[in-house]
Structure 1
Amino acid sequence: MNYPIYGACQCGQVSYELLNKPKRVFACHCTECQKLATGPYSVTAVVNTSDIVFKGEMREWSRVADSGNSNNAKFCGGCGNRIYHYNPDDMSLIKLKLKPVNLEDDKVFAPTEHVWTDKKLSWCELP
C-alpha cells in the first residue's frame, strides 16, 4: 500500500491524511463501541500522532472509560462522524484511535484482533 492515504467524514468538512501504516487495528466489542458503531463492534486503528494530519474543524466529547481513564473523542460538527479518540491523561503514548471513515483504500483498516469479546453480541460470529 502506498502512503499517504486520505479519508474524510460523511459531509467532507473534516479530512485526514494518513502518512504511515497504523500500529494496531482491532475490532472492539465493548458496549460503548457497540453504541458508537450502532452495530456489533467498532473498528479502531491506533496511529502515532506524527503519522496523521487533520483538516477541518472538529468538536469534542469525553467520558470516563471502564479503566478509569479519560476517553476523549473528536468528531465532525457537521455530520457527526466520529473521527478519533485519545486519552488526554496519557499523552506520552501520543497515539490516536482513528475511526475508519470514507477511506480511499479500506484494506488498511482490516482488524487483526478482536477485544472485549466477553461483551460481544450473541449472534456475532468471530473469525
Structure 2
Amino acid sequence: MSDWKLPWTGACLCGQVKVRVTEAPVVAAACHCRACQKLTGGAYSLSLMLPASGLSVEGETEIGGLHNPVPEHHFCPSCKNWLFTRGIAGGAFVNVRPSLLDDGGWVVPYADTWTAQSLPGVQSGARVHYPEFPPVEDYAGLMEGYARDGVRPG
C-alpha cells in the first residue's frame, strides 16, 4: 500500500529509544480499559497494530505495566514512556503508541475497545465500538474496514 508513505520514525520523550515503522498498520484502536487508563494517565490508550516485522527498535527497553510475559509492555528505561506492546496474536503483531512517531498527528482510531470501562463523556472518533475486546471472528472485518476506510498520513 503506497498510500501509507512509509517508513515512519519516532522516539520516546528523552530520545534514548528510537523506533522505525516499515509496514503499514492493520488497524488503529483506542483501548478504554482501566489498565490502559492507568498506564497512559489518560482516557484511553491509542495504538497502531502492525505486523511485528514492521517495527525496529534502537535502544534498550524494559518491561513494565502489568509485567506479563504476554503481552509485553515495553517502556523506555530512562523517561518511562510506554512505547509498544509485543505478543499480540501469538507475536504476529505489535501495538505501537502513535505519540512516539515524529508525525503521528494524523492517527484516528478505527475501533474503540473496552468501552464498558470508558470514562464518562470520552469519545475517540472511532467508527466501531466494542464493550470489551473484539471477538476473534471480527478481526478480519476490522482489518478490511481499516484498509478501506482508515485515516492515512497526509
TM-score between both structures, scaled by the size of structure 1: 0.83
1:1-127 maps to which residues of 2 (within 5 A)?
1-61=4-64, 63=66, 70-87=70-87, 90-91=90-91, 94-107=92-105, 109-125=107-123, 127=125
Q: Which has the larger share of strand?
A: 1
TM-aligned CA deviation for residue 63 of structure 1: 3.1
Unaligned runs of at least 5 residues, structure 1 = none
Q: Within 2, Cα distance between the matches of 1:60 and 1:3?
A: 27
Q: Which has the larger share of helix?
A: 2
Give me the identity figure in percent: 28
Count, aligned residues:
122
Greater relative contact order (Cα < 8 A, sep 6+): 1
RMSD: 2.3
TM-score between both structures, scaled by the size of structure 2: 0.70
Unaligned runs of at least 5 residues, structure 2 = 126-154
Contact 2:67–2:73 (CA<8 Å) still a contact in 1? no
Contact 1:21–1:108 (CA<8 Å) still a contact in 2? no
SS of equivalent residue, structure 1 residue 32: helix
Which residue in 1 is equivalent to 2:137?
none
SS of equivalent residue, structure 1 residue 111: coil
Structure 1 segments of 4+ aligned residues over 6 angstroms from their partners: none
